[in-house]
Copies of this chain bind each other. A is one copy, B any other.
Amino acid sequence: MPELRYEPVTDTWVIIATERAKRPKDFVPLVMAAKKEGQNCPFCPGNEDQTPPEVMAYRPGGSAPDTPGWQVRVVPNKYPALDDAAADPPRRDFFLSGPAAGRHEVIIETPDHDRSLARQEPEEILLALAAWQERYRRLGQDPGIAHTQIFKNHGVVAGASLEHPHSQLIATPLVPAAVRSRLESTRAYHRERGRCYYCDTLAAEEREADRVVYADGSLLAFCPFASRFPLEVWLVPRRHAASFAEADRGELRSLAGALKAVARRLLEGMRDPPFNLMLHSLPYRETGYRDSFHWHLELAPRLTVLAGFELGAGMFINPTPPEMAAEFYRA
């Protein structure tokens, strides 16, 4: 029977559409090759001059900036969506606009072009996460930046234009409305029950157990009850902390292990489908939500299309019950 399931953080009802139920193996992921660029890949070692100058890198051998020898390298996006130098747009009568000020950076996760997340060792993933955190913290010191969204697009259908493994960050001068409403809904939950919504969800998911994908001492990964996407996974640290800036090395290490496990199952069991990975973290100066927000990652495989119903009504149709998805990941 189809079922409507409620996701309170985004106030969204999801249709778990069992009439059109799809087991993971029923999907034919739309796998399209991103630009390989061959020897011209701007993210490959030796081509450092094809990106803007790096803002940071891990260089165990102490090599010079913008030369080979790095493990992780962070550079400004060559075609930034936001730009600190953006000027004020013309004033208009009725319409509201502002300068697109901010930062748009690329985290090149590995020097190895063919080493996608699923193929990286947890130690390598840990380094990329450490770079995420270093940039996340640093950008928070800029008074012009209100929020940093870190994300990864894997595969063309998920928005990746280059194949070389990388993630991105976009730091905005404002708190996006969708982020604001997540803060509000989880604070409302906290006011009502005196507890963090995510802490309660961790306990409930662990109790029901059938949506759990991965667990260790510091992290739980599960397919959320009201998954919007087939095979969606949330990776949530057990320790309550509102900001990703507060994650400790042990938590990042757990996260790296869980990401490796999830990505490898997708690669091996699903022929490497496209996916997006999103960090959710408290915006820098929103201290009023420290008890009610809880940083975590959400991974959304892109096996269905966001079409007219989703864009118009904001509801999602998910043909794969999360209990079935979790079984796939645990196999």
Contacts and interface: CB of A to CB of B under 8 A. Distances in A.
A313 B149 contact: yes
Interface string A284-328: 000000000000001010000111110111110100000000000
Interface stretch (A11-19, A106-114, A120-128, A264-272): A11-19
Nearest to A299: B308
Given A17-B81, A80-B19, A3 B86 contact: yes
B149 A312 contact: yes
Interface stretch (A38-46, A87-95, A234-242): A87-95
Contacts of A2: 80-83, 86, 99-100
Contacts of A86: 1-3
A43 to B, nearest CB: 17
Nearest to A154: B308
B314 A179 contact: yes
Interface string A174-200: 101111000000000000000000001
A254 interface: no
A329 interface: no
9 contacts: A1-B89, A2-B86, A19-B81, A93-B204, A94-B200, A94-B201, A97-B225, A151-B309, A280-B312
Given A19-B83, A298-B312, 16 more contacts: A1-B87, A3-B86, A4-B98, A4-B100, A12-B177, A13-B172, A13-B177, A15-B100, A81-B309, A149-B309, A153-B307, A158-B305, A158-B308, A159-B305, A159-B306, A278-B311
